[in-house]
Chain A
């Protein structure tokens, strides 16, 4: 372990990390947001989505640092229902991050699997998978996600849809991001496919797919990690956008995007804090993740740009 750490500390990747102040800050911000979000049940001053704790008399309080109406128990103000904006943001971030991570994992699993099959079997399997990928790539991810969500709504009834909205959203976003992983893995598989160890595995009766998987995975870890980091930012944005459009997470389970949509309705009358704070949180989170992704891409493979 110590040896491994020492080697890591001497590596070029670690060096480029240390020498980029922006990246270090981005990493700290990301970790901090993740930490606060996942501990929100403990850290948040209120439980904003438990109706029994809300009181309408607390409604529309401005943040404490503005005017005299502020209340220190609601540092960032409240919305029209009397929900604490700070607590809503903490819970909302937790959902946004959760959906983002889950969607990336779904995309990664689908993409890696299809890429492996596509590269290994070639021929018709390859053609079908890659043509689907081509067609899907012509549509922006947000449209694909919207479409999948629309289909889910068509199949499920309204009530049922709200209950499993999180899964629908994770699935929809996951399905709209798999193509890049599939292409990367497929490329790597095509390189490995004809190497001797794959033939050898077949001769001694091992499953060539499994063997290849074990060899291909280390080769694609770098690029896949880069794609995943960049996708995490995109997935969070996509979820927020879907929720903002009113087809994502319902207002009973608000993510940052839902919060922004709810606040947007009050923006015209001047209650800006209900929108601006979640929006700023979202922007900070995505910016930090994107900075990490950008750095990772340059550090792991300067050619990938």
Chain B
């Protein structure tokens, strides 16, 4: 098990290095770091001196090492657009995105899994067919359209919920949170639903098809032949066996929630890192783009590691590899 985790760690670092390479090329060759730091009218001599000082004349591999070293310490230079340190800009906005993604994930899981189980257990029931049809509509509606429709109904027409911003937040010094004020929670509702809906339908469809698959297996039939109750068969035996693929995909989906928040944050003017990224693409703010890329890469790697650890908790076949061969004859 330790070897497995070590191998995964090495793979994770490799993935991060590849992402870092892309970010580095962006940073170094697409944008001009000097232009980002000095005015248009700075004489060429000064530019050259700055270039020398920043090590931009070093061979590319050395520069990449510097970039990776800086990135590891969280330093991505200054934003071209605001001249603020990129890491501070991102840290300021990260809580907004993480809280939104967390709520969206919760929504997607708490609604998606039960819906998937239900439609998987009773695939021929009319309500399952209805849910299945609704889920397809959910997949077909682009996130931003769902957001706009929600705003139209609940803000413009009914005036129930705010259409933009985080509402009221509480600053805890290192973190700003929505959860401590009713206005903040109110502001979270529509963005979370918008962001989570696509993942919800995906999770529901996945759980459904996994359930259908598992229900056909011999051990479920044998569990029935043993006379176990429906409850024990469906939830004790079937649901648990769907967990491994569901955890994999859900894990990846939670990662992409953070990336998908780009769209939701734009629709609801949510002051998170996604909005920052869109602005950086529009203004070609390369350091911010590079830093965002690395951030997403890091989050994905962390989530993947968490998913791997969860496998061990669920599936005994992965645990104690040596024991597998000890079986007597």
Interface residues, chain A, CB within 8 Å of chain B? 131-132, 134-135, 138-140, 142-143, 146-147, 149-151, 153-155, 233, 237, 240-241, 244-247, 257, 260, 264, 267-268, 270, 272, 275-276, 279, 282-283, 286-287, 290-291, 294, 305
Contacts and interface: CB of A to CB of B under 8 A. Distances in A.
Contacts of B282: 153, 246-247
Interface of B: 15, 18-19, 26, 30-31, 136-137, 139-145, 148-149, 151-152, 156, 163, 209, 252, 255-256, 259-260, 262-263, 266-267, 277-278, 280-282, 284, 286, 289, 293, 296-297, 300, 304
A149 B141 CA distance: 23
Contacts of B284: 150, 153-154
B96 to A, nearest CB: 18
Given A138-B15, A138-B297, A233 B140 contact: yes
A291 B266 contact: no
Given A142-B263, A264-B148, A150 B156 contact: no
Given A139-B296, A290-B136, A267 B286 contact: no
Contacts of A143: 259, 262, 296
Contacts of B300: 138-139
A2 B103 CA distance: 58
Contacts of B304: 138
Given A241-B144, A247-B282, 7 more contacts: A135-B15, A151-B30, A246-B282, A260-B145, A264-B148, A268-B156, A276-B149
A150 B152 contact: no
A98 to B, nearest CB: 18
20 contacts: A134-B15, A138-B300, A142-B262, A149-B281, A153-B281, A153-B284, A244-B142, A245-B144, A246-B278, A257-B142, A260-B148, A267-B148, A267-B156, A276-B149, A282-B145, A283-B141, A286-B142, A287-B141, A290-B139, A291-B136
B280 A150 contact: yes
A140 B256 contact: yes
A279 B259 contact: no
Given A139-B296, A291-B136, A150 B145 contact: no
B156 A270 contact: yes
Nearest to A239: B142
Given A142-B263, A260-B148, A290-B136, A247 B19 contact: no
Contact of B144 (A132, A139, A155, A244): A244
A155 B300 CA distance: 28
A25 to B, nearest CB: 12
Contacts of A294: 136
A85 B227 CA distance: 63
A85 to B, nearest CB: 15
Contacts of B209: 305
Contacts of A268: 156, 163
Nearest to B278: A245
A146 B279 CA distance: 11
A135 B267 CA distance: 28
Contact of A146 (B142, B143, B262): B262
Can you list the 7 inter-chain pairs with the closest CB atoms, starting with the nearest? A287-B140, A150-B281, A154-B30, A286-B140, A140-B256, A138-B300, A237-B142
Contacts of B297: 138-139
A241 B143 contact: yes
Contacts of A286: 140-142
A172 to B, nearest CB: 11
A134 B304 CA distance: 13
Contact of A147 (B152, B252, B266, B293): B293
A132 B15 CA distance: 9
Contacts of A246: 278, 282
Contacts of B278: 146, 245-247
Contacts of B281: 146-147, 149-150, 153, 247
Contact of B152 (A140, A267, A291): A267
